[in-house]
Amino acid sequence: MPKGEGKLIAQNRKARYEYSILDTVEAGIVLNGTEIKSIRAGRINLKDGYAGIRNGEMYLYNVHIAPFEKGNQFNHDPLRTRKLLMKKKQIDKFTGEVKQGGVTIVPLKVYIKNGYAKVLIGLAKGKKQYDKRESIKRKDQKRQVERALKDYR
């Protein structure tokens, strides 16, 4: 998470397995009424989410925010498209990268920072199967080293 870390709400762990993350940016999310209450309760799922650029603005698609239990008629559509708040330069940079091809924009984390919901989005390039196996091997080796150091002490 960037400087001034907030309270981590949700994390897309599968994204780091499926993709190589080239660059990350923190963005605010435009939310409706009860959505922030659901997020604070941890009822958000980033698993199938992605971000896209439309009319020079960044949007978050397919991120599920569960309806708030006590929200009755004021509840929202769980899978609605949500606008991301970013600087124009950042959006232009991501637009250029995506237009070149081979990359996509995925949400990595959602957290609360200074009372506001923030999402960490990453510019991602898909991994091949052998890259995924290499990642698993590295993670296992790291775990074995940690275990050996723990036993050594």
CATH architecture of 7-126: Beta Barrel (2.40)
Provide the 3-class DSSP secondary structure of residue 56. coil
Residues 27-86 pLDDT 10s: 999 988 788 888 888 888 888 888 888 898 999 998 888 887 776 666 777 788 889 999
Helices and strands in the chain, H and E counts: 4, 9
Closest CA to 117 of 38, 14, 16, 49: 38
Mean pLDDT of the chain: 85
Query: Which two tokens mark 102?
Result: 């081979």
Residues 70-122 pLDDT 10s: 766 667 777 888 899 999 999 988 888 888 888 889 999 999 988 888 999 99
**Cα–Cα dist 3/106, whole Å:** 20
Domain spans, the chain: 7-126
Model's pTM, two decimal places?
A: 0.77
pLDDT value for 34: 82
